[in-house]
A and B are shown apart, each in its own frame.
Chain A
Amino acid sequence: EAGVAQSPRYKIIEKRQSVAFWCNPISGHATLYWYQQILGQGPKLLIQFQNNGVVDDSQLPKDRFSAERLKGVDSTLKIQPAKLEDSAVYLCASSLAVNYGYTFGSGTRLTVV
């Protein structure tokens, strides 16, 4: 089966600019997650979708981050305006049943300068 697709792979922007990331999960996976991974740390959950509804966005900085899941399939994560501390890898993952684990995409490495 095809894996989780993410784009772009890399992005460099200036602070205060906006950026968007795209994720296409594995077909049939109802649950989709966005994680932020800062260098040297483990992934931290930003938002969790079940189909096209939000299950958990308690760790999402809502003043600058937003996310949506279109028709319960693809998802986009947006940052506006970006700050230097947003430099990180943004990982998308999907699962059929979370106790079997997630499948992660390769991530988008964001550098804010």
Chain B
Amino acid sequence: GQQLNQSPQSMFIQEGEDVSMNCTSSSIFNTWLWYKQDPGEGPVLLIALYKAGELTSNGRLTAQFGITRKDSFLNISASIPSDVGIYFCAGLWGSSNTGKLIFGQGTTLQVKP
């Protein structure tokens, strides 16, 4: 079935550093989304991407939809302690009405103050 591979699996960085993570798939997706999950909570949507090559920002977060539609990237600039959590990419499989999201295995981010 469809599978999304995220890298790196985990990152331990110093506060203030920039962070990059990516997500790749063997399948084409027409919509990519990035979620963040805090401990004990459900994932929360950060950014949604709808067009190949699209670059979208949300505050210090920037995500890009790869040209091949088989990958996506998430960058976090000037990391702060509250960025700690697990970041998931997700691709939409199926239509916008009846489709479902396929999730990667996550990138765990730890930030040292």
Binding site for B on A (CB under 8 A): 4, 31, 33, 35, 40-45, 48, 50, 55-56, 91, 93, 97-107, 109
Binding site for A on B (CB under 8 A): 4, 6, 31, 33, 35, 40-45, 48, 50, 88, 90, 92, 94, 96-106
Q: In the docked arrangement, what's the CA distance between A93 and B35, Å?
A: 13
Q: Are B105 and A42 in contact (CB under 8 A)?
A: yes
Closest to A44 in B: B103
B residues in contact with A97, CB < 8 Å: 96-97
Q: In the docked arrangement, what's the CA distance between A31 and B13, Å?
A: 38
A-B contacts, 12 of them at CB < 8 A, read: A40-B105, A42-B106, A50-B97, A91-B43, A98-B94, A98-B98, A101-B90, A106-B40, A106-B41, A106-B42, A107-B40, A107-B42
B residues in contact with A56, CB < 8 Å: 100
Closest to A48 in B: B100
The 3 A-B residue pairs with the shortest CB-CB distance in the complex, in nearest-first order? A104-B42, A42-B103, A99-B96
